[in-house]
Amino acid sequence: MPLRETNFVEYLKQRGFKVTRQRMTILETVFGSREHFSAEQLHRRLVDEGHRVSLATVYRSVNVLVEGGFLEALDVGGGQMLYERVDGREEHHDHLVCVACGSIEEFRCDEIERLQEQQATSRGFEMTHHSLRIFGRCRECAKDGRREGRARAPRVSAIPRG
pLDDT digits (tens, 9 = 90+) for 122-161: 999 998 878 888 989 999 999 988 877 654 444 444 444 4
Q: Cα(76)–Cα(151) distance, rounded to whole angstroms?
A: 10
pLDDT of res. 1: 59
* CATH class as words, domain 91-156: alpha beta
CATH 3.40.50.880 fits 1-89, yes or no: no
Q: Cα(130)–Cα(152) distance, rounded to whole angstroms?
A: 27
Domain ranges of the chain: 1-89, 91-156
pLDDT of res. 153: 44
Rounded mean pLDDT, 14-38: 90
Lowest-pLDDT range, 17-21, 58-62, 98-102? 98-102
Rounded to two decimals, the pTM is 0.70
DSSP letters spanning 32-70? T--S-B-HHHHHHHHHHTT----HHHHHHHHHHHHHTTS
Residue 44: pLDDT band with limits 50, 70, 90: very high
Which tens digit of pLDDT belongs to each residue from 87-113? 765 677 888 888 888 888 888 888 998
Q: Cα(70)–Cα(6) distance, rounded to whole angstroms?
A: 12
Q: Cα(92)–Cα(89) distance, rounded to whole angstroms?
A: 9
Domains 1-89 and 91-156 share a fold: no
